[in-house]
A and B are shown apart, each in its own frame.
Chain A
Amino acid sequence: MYSLGIDVGSVSTNLVLLDNNNNVVEKLYVRTRGKPMEAVQLVLSEIRKKYDSKQIYSAGTTGSGRMIASIQIGADIVKNEITAHAVAAIQTEKDVRTVLEIGGQDSKIIIIRDGVVTDFAMNTVCAAGTGSFLDRQAERLGIPIEEFGDHALKAAVPVRIAGRCAVFAESDMIHKQQLGYNTCDIIAGLCDALVRNYLSNVAKGKEILPKVIFQGGVAANSGIHRAFEKALNMPVIIPEHYDVMGALGAAILAREKVNRERAGTRFKGFSVSESSFKSKSFVCSGCSNQCEVVSVLENQQPVGYFGDRCGKYNQFTASATG
Chain B
Amino acid sequence: MRVGIPKGLLYCKYHPFFETFFRGLGAEIVNSEDTSKNILNMGVKVCVDEACLPVKIYHGHAASIKDRCDLLVVPRIMQVHRNEYICPKFCGLPEMIVHSIPGMPPVTSAPLYMHSKKSLFQWCVSSGSAITRSRSRIRHAFELALKAQNSHKTGIMDQKDITVMLAGHPYIVYDAFLNMDIVNKLKAKGIGILTEEFAPCAASESQVKKLLKKPFWTFQRNLFGASAALYEQKKIHGIIYLSSFACGIDSVVIDLIRFHTGDFPMLVIKFDEHTGEAGVDTRLEAFTDMLERRVLNEDNRPTYGQCLYSRQNPV
Contact = CB atoms under 8 A, between A and B. Distances in A.
Nearest to A291: B37
Contacts of A125: 245, 270, 272, 274
B83 interface: no
Given A116-B294, A124-B270, A290 B308 contact: no
A135 interface: no
A83 B288 CA distance: 10
Contacts of A94: 304-305
A111 B302 CA distance: 16
Interface residues of B, number: 42
A91 B100 CA distance: 56
Given A79-B315, A119-B263, A289-B177, A87 B309 contact: yes
B251 to A, nearest CB: 11
Interface string A285-305: 001111110000000000000
Nearest to A77: B315
A313 interface: no
The listed residue with most B CB atoms (<10 A of its CB), out of A117, A118, A287, is: A117
Interface string B270-302: 101011011101110111011001100100011
A118 B272 contact: no
A253 interface: yes
A207 B262 CA distance: 10
Contacts, number: 103
A113 to B, nearest CB: 9
B37 to A, nearest CB: 5
B245 A124 contact: yes
A240 interface: no
Contacts of B272: 125
A115 B308 CA distance: 7
B314 interface: yes
Interface string A42-71: 000000000000000000000010010000
Given A116-B297, A124-B270, A260-B314, A90 B282 contact: no
Contacts of B294: 116, 118
A86 interface: yes
A205 B287 CA distance: 17
A116 B281 CA distance: 21
Contacts of B149: none
A87 B177 CA distance: 33
Contact of A288 (B34, B181, B293): B34
A243 interface: no
B233 interface: no
B245 A253 contact: no
A289 to B, nearest CB: 5
Interface of A: 64, 67, 77, 79-83, 86-87, 90-91, 94-95, 111, 114-120, 122, 124-125, 205, 207, 252-253, 256-257, 260, 287-292, 307, 309
